[in-house]
A and B are shown apart, each in its own frame.
Chain A
């Protein structure tokens, strides 16, 4: 028991860094994916054909490519054509690209739940595209999107662990390194698993809270 305590104390900073890296990858990945995913969703429903094509190709590629393949391509393939990013940002980039494809579909479904009458009324009132999006469409769409977005978030959290396979020092990688040095495998893996479990359940909890919050608001009637 002593050796375990000693190992944890000696490597507390290392472990903490790992957790922070995981959190950083997840949050930056999710925010980036949210932004790009929304843009790509707008592309996919726009009346401009080249944009629709780009959007569709983008989603089909990044939804179907395995995340590990994507990360390896970014970490080892891109430098071959002159694009060398620090490892952490390679991880973020991979998560943003893959995550945005899934979030795009979530946003698109969300937009689909808005009745056309809402937006026609908005445009009849003279609202610009941006205002329409911000005040009428997204708030209503968001109400149905909360649960799928939480699932996307958890997906990105779990995906962040794959960065460990390309050298990023997230909690999975730190666990593996410590396991090679010491022999306390069980403790380390339980610790690591607990981190992901806590974050995933936490995200689920935040999602439920958000859902209750938005269902209480009274912007428009959804259908």
Chain B
């Protein structure tokens, strides 16, 4: 091993000089485009949630008057802390995605959290309104139950089973599972074509049960996050990706070699998870949700986030219309 000494030093020297050379020609900011293999110049691939537009929507949201806030001890605590603790993720495209260069999290779910924080605290520095705590399918309920987080906004599907442990405000968004395939795929057009195909989905999503129901006998490959599943389809490891339609549409816009086929074959209402102990908390958040729907801010948020990738604006769901909400 010791005769290697000089050569080892040589390698280290070569490596460090390469690193120094790289650092020397380092420029300021990375490209804002999220490029993929096919830089076909299509304007779609360059679409990005604009941080400024997002901030403007949040700042333009309604602010609760003092009476409303002081009537709720939960809201008073949040106002005192001047930020809200949201359970969620930072790697969810369109709904809650962290920009690695700025550290800011933006998306539809992030926006609901920020709007609620703005509503309660009236704060105008959007970057300080929310603190995101990473949650998973298994930690979500517990973190609400022991108040580690104030709310959970994380494409959190409302189910009666979950509603027994925590409360759901909303639904604030209605989606459904759809199918994503490679752009040149002509064999898969709807859920009935999925029989016998290699499917992939996220390991903690409700899409797994959807697949069990609509494509019985098929065991999908499970990956931990959206990008692994996207890569699986792009690289040919799987024929189709089943997940929430909005996320798939976002994938398709960022990756021009993918497309979404068929219409959603399930309904997936998303709710804001809150602690169950005090029913007034759920009422408070529901009142807030109704307010932003009525004032048009819900639609503005949608346009600034999901709307960047999807054309047709949906109508806001009816609060309390889903069992469990």
Contact = CB atoms under 8 A, between A and B. Distances in A.
Most buried by B among A79, A165, A173: A79
Interface residues of A, number: 15
Interface string A171-191: 001001101110000000000
B146 interface: no
B265 interface: no
A151 interface: no
A167 B236 contact: no
A173 B237 CA distance: 18
Contacts of B223: 166-167
A176 to B, nearest CB: 7
Contacts, number: 33
A76 B228 CA distance: 8
Given A76-B231, A87-B221, A167-B222, A176 B237 contact: no
A173 B223 CA distance: 10
Contact of B237 (A79, A177, A180): A79
A84 B237 CA distance: 7
B203 A176 contact: yes
Interface size class of B (residues with CB under 8 A): 10 to 19
Given A177-B203, A180-B137, A180-B203, A165 B224 contact: yes
Contacts of B222: 167, 173, 177
Contacts of B231: 76, 79
B138 interface: yes
Contact of B221 (A79, A84, A167): A167
Interface string A158-170: 0000000111000
Contacts of A80: 37, 235
B4 A56 contact: yes
B46 interface: no
Interface in A53-79: 56, 76, 79
Interface of A: 56, 76, 79-80, 84, 87, 165-167, 173, 176-177, 179-181
